[in-house]
Amino acid sequence: MSETKDHNLLPIVEVEHLGVMSYAEAWDYQQVLQKKGVTARSHNRKIADESERIAIKNYLLFCQHPHVYTLGKSGSVDHLLLNEAEMKEREVEYFKINRGGDITYHGPGQIVAYPIFDLEQFFTDVHRYVRSLEEVVIATLADYGILATRIKGYTGVWLEGSPNRKICAIGVHMSRWITLHGFAFNVNTDLDYFNHIVPCGIDDKDKTVTSMAAELGKNVEIEEVKAKLLSHFCRIFDFKVG
């Protein structure tokens, strides 16, 4: 977390709870918000008069998706183990997108967070940004007595053991320091859907996926988890909710 600042000078983030939203709709919405910021940045860099500057807004979107597999730009389609007919039978959609990382799953019982942040208002450091997203989830899990960590060489949040278990996948993209995509946090997720992909392209018998429900032996209240995530977002990224 950054040094304590005057509360009035903190970045402002508008938080939106979108409920259950199709992946395509959420992706389009993210791109609209990011494009507004990128356009404003381009405008601001061409003018000298401060009064003509356009304020760049920050957003934090929370949602859940119907069953969907998404493949990042560096991923391999071979890591999707279902054909088109099998996906249709299971009512699973598929998208190839511009975030980093390989293939992952989104679905009911999973909290997806999409920060559309202007990092020039926070810090211009991609590595720190990803580590900060991980820290939000690690801190939230600690509130439930779940000890989570990072594993060297792998993005995301993990629980160490035999096997090591991934509980949150992270994939980001940015343009002119304005972020896109975010993280997928397994809360009450049906983990069977991960059996039809090579999750995040990690084909390692010592690594698998898990959820809060699997670790605690019971389902967890989604709204409560979101509230804790937001609290840690505010603390770690040092912003106020607008």
Q: Annotated active-site positions, please? A: 200
Q: Count other C-beta atoms under 10 Å from residue 81's C-beta.
A: 12
234 within 8 A of 241, measured Cβ to Cβ? yes
The reply to whether omega before 11 is within 30° of 0 (cis) is no
Question: How far apart, in whole angstroms, are the C-alpha atoms of residue 199 and residue 154?
Answer: 12
| One-letter identity of residue 228 | K
3-state secondary structure of 242: coil
Question: How far apart, in whole angstroms, are the C-alpha atoms of residue 178 and residue 96?
Answer: 21
Question: How far apart, in whole angstroms, are the C-alpha atoms of residue 62 and residue 59?
Answer: 10
Our measurement of the distance from residue 167's CA atom to the centroid of its chain's CA atoms, rounded to an integer in Å, reads 12
φ, ψ of residue 66 in degrees (nearest 5): -60, 170
The reply to whether omega before 199 is within 30° of 0 (cis) is no
Our measurement of the distance from residue 164's CA atom to the centroid of its chain's CA atoms, rounded to an integer in Å, reads 20
| One-letter identity of residue 28 | D
Q: Which residues of 203-235 are buried (b: 16+ CB within 10 A; e: fewer)?
A: eeeebbbbbbbbbeeeebebeebbebbbebbbe
